[in-house]
Amino acid sequence: MENNNSVNFADYEFIPKLLTQIEKVIIGKHDVVKMLVAALLSGGHVLIEDVPGTGKTTLAMTLAKATSLSCRRVQFTPDVMASDITGFTMYNKESERFEYRNGLVMSNIFIADEINRTSPKTQSALLEAMEEKKVTVDGVAHKLPDPFMVIATENEFGYVGTYPLPEAQLDRFLIKLSVGYPTAEDEAMILYRRKNGDPIETVEPVCSADDITRCISAVRNTHIDAAIYKYIVDIVSATRNHPFAALGASPRASIALMRASQSIAFMDGRNYVTPEDVALMVNYVLPHRIHLTQEAKVKRVSVGLVISEIMKAVRPPFKSNE
């Protein structure tokens, strides 16, 4: 695998420190923490779905503090309006003109807490921000800070008062995570660390917005062999042809899988992507983009099973030499 890219990984030594800081608070969830950071370094957005009380919001807020990025959090409810998120124009009597007032989305990290408890109209207000990193209000575009990341949390669909996210919005999340319940040992450690206060207060910032922006650029220069490009396309294309898939993954999913694979390779200290990187990130990039047929639901076929069959059918181009 030819690779002419050179990276001085010493310039990005804040990455392991960032993981360590987050894991002061999020106990026993190393893989989840790593994937969240990988999404940040990909320039992507994250959807965290789980039952209430598993630490979804805490995870997002800990990342914000450890990166020293500006952060705003909105608890979504049915009465939250789109203008609360994107901002609005207001007439100023003194200047005799309309002026734009920032919405809550104007931050480096925007935490959309329980996003599936607000109306579809308000949910859709984030679409432009997530895709183009700007918001348009009354015909005027307003650029969002750089870097910009949406971390949305949601309770599993079926809980009272939830609205399912539309496919167009789901597709804009780079990855989807589930925190899950802790083990008995980890839960005991959570209690111990919270006995005297909130452990988030012990988290120290280890990087700046400039560090993250610089890292995102470096990640995107991570080498991808031509065979890896084909491997990604073959996997994503297979989701569209599977008999149990009513809706497969879009070309946006191919881009997301590429970016996520670059990021995880970079975090592992490599300036090239392997098939193993792609196979790992498939489990986070594709599940929320595949919608099952009614037949699959009747037969209780899971998205995970569909992806497993696809990964067995699509052969990797080569194995890494690691």
For 222-316, CATH gives 1.10.8.80
Average pLDDT, the chain: 92
Assess whether pLDDT exceeds 60 at residue 322.
no
pTM of the complete model = 0.92
Separation of alpha carbons 195 and 175, rounded Å: 33
Structure tokens given for 30: 């190393």
* Average pLDDT over every residue of 260-276: 97
Assess whether pLDDT exceeds 80 at residue 160.
no
Q: Which of 143, 175, 165 is nearest to 255 (CA)?
A: 175
CB distance 228 to 279 below 8 Å: no
Separation of alpha carbons 188 and 186, rounded Å: 5
- Share above pLDDT 90 across residues of the chain, in percent, rounded to a whole number: 76
**CATH homologous superfamily, domain 9-79+107-195+206-220:** P-loop containing nucleotide triphosphate hydrolases (3.40.50.300)
Neighbours of 118 (CB within 10 A): 25
Residues carrying CATH 1.10.8.80, the chain: 222-316
Assess whether pLDDT exceeds 90 at residue 37.
yes
Separation of alpha carbons 294 and 104, rounded Å: 39
pLDDT of amino acid 96:
78
Pairing of strands 109-113, 71-75: parallel
Structure tokens given for 307: 């992806």
* Average pLDDT over every residue of 141-159: 87
Omega of the bond prior to 147 within 30 degrees of 0, cis? yes
Residues carrying CATH 3.40.50.300, the chain: 9-79+107-195+206-220
pLDDT one-digit tens code per residue, 91-103 = 888 887 888 899 9
Residue entry with tokens 């881009």: 255
CB distance 49 to 228 below 8 Å: no
Separation of alpha carbons 270 and 273, rounded Å: 8
Structure tokens given for 11: 């310039």
Burial label for 233, CB within 10 Å (0-12, 13-18, 19+), is middle
Residue type for position 10: A
